[in-house]
Amino acid sequence: MSIPLLSRTHAHRPAPHLTVMGPVALTLGRVHEICGSARRTLALMAAAATEGPVFWIQLDWAPDRLYPDTVAAFIPPGRLTHVRPLHPTDLLWCMEETLRSGAVPLVIADLPDPPGLTPVRRLHLAAEAGAATGRSRPIGLILTPGQGGAAGVESRWHMAPRHGGEHNMWRLDRLRARTAPPKTWHLHATADPETLSPAHPRPMEIRDAP
């Protein structure tokens, strides 16, 4: 008697993802890390690729704040809710609870240091619970200084300025990802920053680095 083999089609089906630009994609319902001096810019680019509310969680006394004009270049400011806890231990708690609700498609935590493996696992579980509500498949972005290093994240990205000539340029590195190898791109803004608005976002070219 022959026994039919189980199909592996489902196992190889790509996970749903958010396309930020070109080949830059973030798996839905997972937590990703963005590091480097332009990490907030990349987070706003990700926000521009989503719909609905965006929560930005940052310590109330943190020195680096988003400029309203910078936010307005990417998304309508009304989409952004600032959450400003007083204590560092509350940053990831706020993120976890927001992800778990499933009500916010993109939750960003601006952290002073990379979190450990156990907190990241809790964030993944919270994002999965949020997806199970059926409201959205929330993405968590943790922003960390330097080269980052949060354990257990779905992917880690590094972005830094590479300005030159008349337009803004950046170098974007995919440092690690569960389903893709490391890779480097050069980003080139092709519009005058003074003309930017959510209705007319900055045209962006992305090219493989040589």
pLDDT score recorded for residue 187:
87
Q: Is 11 part of a structural domain of the chain?
A: no
How many whole angstroms separate alpha carbon 24 and alpha carbon 114? Answer: 22
Q: Is 5 part of a structural domain of the chain?
A: no
CATH number where 68 lies: 3.40.50.300
By residue range, what is the domain housing residue 137? 17-208
Q: Is 175 part of a structural domain of the chain?
A: yes
pLDDT score recorded for residue 9:
45
Residues of the chain with pLDDT under 50: 1, 4-11, 192-201
Between the alpha carbon of residue 51 and those of residues 75, 134, 142, the distances in Å are: 9, 15, 19
- Tally the domains of the chain: 1
Q: Is 6 part of a structural domain of the chain?
A: no
Q: What is the pLDDT of residues 132-185, one digit of tens each?
A: 999 999 999 999 999 999 999 999 999 999 876 556 789 999 999 998 999 999
